[in-house]
A = this chain, B = another copy of it.
Amino acid sequence: MKYELYYWPTIQGRGEFIRLALEEAGADYVDVARGPEDSGAGVPALMQILDSNAIHRPPFAPPFLKAGDLLIGQTANILLFLGPRHGLAPKDDAGRLWTHQLQLTLADLVQEVHDTHHPIAASLYYEEQRKEARRRAGEFLKSRAPKFLAYFEHVLERNPEGDQHLVGASLTYCDLSLFQVIAGLRYAFPRAAAQYQRDYRRVFGMYDRIARSPRIAAYLASDRRIPFNEEGIFRHYEELDFKP
């Protein structure tokens, strides 16, 4: 079965968590909104689903994934679906819940990263909330990011099967998502990330290993990987990169 991923074509955003899982799985998928409009793909194909009145189980927002008859929305929910199908989640119920719990905690962190540059409203430009963004980013880098990173460091440390993975003894989708979060923090907040790298060695060690792993390294080097930019979740604004 060929998956159809629907996400904004010019940013990594939340879609990137899905792309990384599909790439690591070697899954057959098409990134629909990045395809050509004249063959029925592109953003119009995405908007057609979002604006449709005929879908009984409509998504609220991208990303969403078509898998045969299923249309699945919400990033963590898509990974909950993909994980066990592609060896990226444990087989037992308890392990799946735990993996999903970690993913939801990462989703909370990602939302807080987004709000560092959009503390007032996603519908306003960054320039319209710059002052508030400075306050929020300062608090985020000083207290929130360290709290989350210390938690994931701790989860790695406590994992009875070793500190190479968050769950069990092999790679899961939440390892890939933590990799993406670290990649994003390094891009958006290089000064702060340099400090975090010294404080959370297991987390950054996992980041390094995943970056070098064959399928992810090939993906990162390909043009399927959209570069970070100032339209996505992780944005680099010099004035927000406080030293924590």
Given A58-B154, A121-B136, CB of A80 within 8 Å of CB of B100? yes
- Give min CB distance, A67 to chain B, whole Å: 10
Chain A positions 51 through 73: 1 when the CB is less than 8 Å from some CB of chain B, otherwise 0: 00101111110000000011011
Q: Is A170 an interface residue (CB 8 A)?
A: no
**How far, in angstroms, from A164 to B236 measured CA to CA in the complex?**
46
Chain A positions 136 through 152: 1 when the CB is less than 8 Å from some CB of chain B, otherwise 0: 10011001100010010
The 8 Å CB contact of A105, one of B70, B74, B135, is: B74
Residues 119-164 of A at the B interface (beta carbon under 8 Å):
119-121, 123-124, 129, 132, 135-136, 139-140, 143-144, 148, 151, 154-155, 158-160
Which of A53, A80, A148 neighbours the largest number of chain B CB atoms within 10 Å of its CB?
A80
Given A55-B158, A97-B81, CB of A60 within 8 Å of CB of B105? yes
A151 touches B60 (CB 8 A): yes
Measured as residues with beta carbon below 8 angstroms from the partner, the interface class of chain A is: 35 or more
Given A58-B158, A158-B55, CB of A120 within 8 Å of CB of B97? no
A123 touches B97 (CB 8 A): no
- Excluding A72-B97, A119-B120, 4 further A-B contacts by CB distance (< 8 Å) are A57-B101, A59-B101, A121-B136, A121-B144
